[in-house]
Amino acid sequence: MTIRTIPGPDPDTRTPTFTLPPLSCDTHCHIFGPGHLYPYDPKRSYTPPDAPLDMFRALHAKIGVGRAVIVNASVHGTDNRVALDAIAQSNGAYRAVANLDGTIDEKGLEALDKGGFRGCRFNFVRHLGGVPDMKVFDRLVAMVAPLGWHIDLHFDAIDLPEYAPMLARLPLPYTIDHMGRVKAADGLDQEPFRILVDLLASDEKCWVKVCGAERVSSAGAPFHDAVPFARKLAETAPDRIIWGTDWPHPNVKVMPNDGDLVDIIPLFAPEPELQHKILVANPARLFGFDLP
């Protein structure tokens, strides 16, 4: 099988017009490599250019991010060292979400928890391998729940109707990535988005990441057709919405400029109180950061 190579992020990040509040958290971002220190998984579906910790820090300094949650990417498989090492160098500014499989034991989970991990991720997206082994899924959910972790879920929008009942029955909080990957061209009344809004309204365990505007958008940069979806989610559950860049943007059709992504925030959340919730208070509560 040929492993395709994907492009790296926009190297010319512009300084956003919108100034993020202090301690704003990018709750969905990745570190890739460097490959000679943190090898890529032989079973990966794509190969990214290295996007190491120094680039990660430079990006956040440019756009004004003070905290971050590193979602360990599928290209690193279940080797979570790249995120674990970054947390150790962050002076408390980073947390992470792990990739796990059925081989993890209690001791391994305890080490990740002590190292700053606060959740684990499951990919249901078809181009990244599709449905996980649900027996392993159920076992891991039972193992991480006592730690106070959440699970992070990556779906194709078309599959949300099928999985909504399962999500409502989960015994722990869960986050849904990228606004459910809905398609802006299908409108606010499309079934996957209605189900996502219903879940958010009815299930207090449900959180949604308002990120991936470039994945939701049908119009392209600067992705403003994603704004009504983000606004609806923020109005539905302002205490359970979090934001992220998804840097360095693997597998996107149109590579965004992260300055544009920051400047979308006041379009869907013009109120300063709501901005503070989404960017500071909500992620602090979910990921265990201190609040001043």
The full set of domains in the chain, from first to last, is: 21-287 (3.20.20.140)
The candidate with the shortest Cα–Cα distance to 79, out of 50, 39, 113, is: 39
pLDDT in tens, the chain (292 residues): 689 999 999 999 999 999 999 999 999 999 999 999 999 999 998 999 999 999 999 999 999 999 999 999 999 999 999 999 999 999 999 999 999 999 999 999 999 999 999 999 999 987 666 678 999 999 999 999 999 999 999 998 899 999 999 999 999 999 999 999 999 999 999 999 999 999 999 999 999 999 999 999 999 999 999 999 999 999 999 999 999 999 999 999 999 999 999 999 999 999 999 999 999 999 999 999 998 7
The helix-helix angle for 191-202 and 227-236 (nearest 10°) equals 30
**Set 152, 246, 258, 260: catalytic member:** 246
Cα separation of 202 and 208, whole Å? 13
For the chain, state the CA radius of gyration.
17
Tell me the whole-structure pTM to 2 decimals. 0.97
Place of tokens 């992070």: 152
Q: Catalytic residue at 177?
A: no
Query: What is the DSSP secondary structure assignment for residue 269, as one 8-state letter?
Result: -
Q: In whole angstroms, how far apart are CA 180 and each of 14, 16, 204, 229, 260?
A: 27, 25, 17, 10, 20
Token representation of residue 274: 């709501």
**123: which strand partners?**
154
**Which token pair is 52?**
């190491």
Q: How far apart are CA 40 and CA 76, in angstroms?
A: 5
Could you tell me if 8 and 91 are in contact, meaning their C-beta atoms sit under 8 angstroms apart? no
What end-to-end distance do the CA atoms of the chain give, in Å?
Answer: 51
